[in-house]
Amino acid sequence: MFWTLALVLGLISSMNQISNGQLQAGFYSNSCPNAESIVASTVRQATQSDPTIPAALLRLHFHDCMVHGCDGSILVRSPANGNLEKDSPNHAGLRGMEVIDSAKAQLESQCPGVVSCADIVALAARDSVSLTQGPAYDVLTGRRDGTVSNIADANNMPVVRDSIDVLKSKFATKGLSDKDLVLLTAAHTIGTTACFFVENRLYSFSTNSQSDPSINPSFLPELQSQCPQNGNVNVRIPLDRGSGNRFDIEIFRNIKSGFAVIESDAALYQDDSTRAIVDSYFGLFELLGPSFEDDFAESMIRMGSIGVKTGSNGVIRRTCSALN
């Protein structure tokens, strides 16, 4: 279902609890009217060349917002000294930065010094969801870019092996609810993960169980065949079994049924609060309950407002890969 401008703007009051500044829909309508279409075109062209790009860009937005807030600091790659935010092991495998760089170069040629790298990341994530048959929604814009990028700042990123209590705590620290945790995890409906992040669940889960007992017994051999013990940990497998290239609710069906691929996804069904949220999208709730697509869009908008810099705070970086 499509978000209307009025509905999006209705979220602003709740988002003020997350952000010190205020974003708005159509922020660049006068200063750079083609900004959103340029980003959308760039993402579309990149996806035509590499169908894995939407998942990469969606993940990039999450990793940007969950450190300093949504300020584009994850994009900084210069100087290449090993001490930048993107160098953290918690950001391992991040991709898609070249797509942001391409959009930024086009925007600088049309509207120099106007569109922030942080906004490009947020817009690219939205376009990635839409390109994979997910919900279309308005992105509130007006973010400015950060001026700091330190590896240590990413130490508290949510990671695959976090318990559900730790995940809930990390999200709460950013002003996000348990429902946001569940819905933002649904971003795993597209994309892949490396066997490196799965092998512990399969072969050395705990002292009491070689494999994670929450894995459906019929699914365990399938995972083990894809990620054999002592095999290539860089092999990539879909995060959403049977639906890895399409944005849909199947990720929740898989979590309910024990077909979650990574531990943090499975954890959602091992806690009363988050399990109830997952279940709320099924059964009679499918007809009478909340809309998965609308709720996902709302959580994305809320996440995109974490710690944003607006007004006189922050800068507009002319090159996304380097600090001004």
Known catalytic residues?
63
Which letter, b or e, does each residue of 83-110 get, where b requires 16 or more Cβ atoms within 10 Å of its Cβ?
ebbbbbebbeebebbebbbbbbebbbee
Residue 111: Cβ within 10 Å count: 16
| 24 membership: H or E segment, kind and range | strand 24-25
Residue 280 DSSP SS3: coil
Pick from 173, 153, 158: nearest CA to 68:
153
Q: Strands, E, within 182-278: which ranges?
A: 192-194, 236-238
How far is CA 186 from each of CA 79, 202, 265, rounded to the nearest angstrom? Answer: 34, 22, 9
Residue 275: Cβ within 10 Å count: 17
Measure the CA–CA gap between 171 and 151, rounded to whole angstroms: 20
Measure the CA–CA gap between 164 and 271, rounded to whole angstroms: 7
